[in-house]
Amino acid sequence: MPYYYVEGLYITRAGRRRALKSGRISAGNVEPFARSFYANSPAEALQMAAEALEGGEWVEPPRLSQTSEEQRMRQMGAPELPGLRMPAKKGHKKKPT
């Protein structure tokens, strides 16, 4: 079964209710969505993502791919941000007695 990554922006359920009253979407109610799903087809993955929004609504159509954003950036050779690399594990030193 293929693995699909669904990424996009969505407005929360509470934000959607506020937007219906005021007619505007505030930036505080928009959240990122990035999850992966095992699905038989891209349409099924989008359906599963829509259910995962729990009453929210897409601000723009989601992006669907079989590689994550991290994998795409690494393939492009994009530089990593300083300080975000995983630190090397250091061995435990025993104190002399």
CA dihedral angle for residue 52, residue 56, residue 58, residue 64, rounded to 10 degrees: -10
Angle CA 18–22–24, to nearest 5: 85
Measured between alpha carbons, how far is 46 from 21 in angstroms, rounded to an integer? 28
pLDDT of the residue at 6 = 92
Read off the pLDDT of residues 2-20 as tens digits, 9 standing for 90 and up: 889 999 999 888 888 887 7
Higher pLDDT among residues 67 and 93, named by residue: 67
Q: What does the pLDDT look like over 25-39, one tens digit per residue?
A: 777 888 899 999 999
Predicted pLDDT at 91: 66
pTM: 0.65
Listing DSSP states for 4-73 in one string gives EEEEEEEE-HHHHHHHHHHS---GGGEEEEEEEEE-SSHHHHHHHHHHHTTT-EESSPPEEESS-HHHHH
State the pLDDT at residue 22.
Answer: 80
Mean per-residue pLDDT of the chain: 82
Give the pLDDT confidence score for residue 97 in this predicted structure: 64
Q: Coil, helix or strand for 76? A: helix
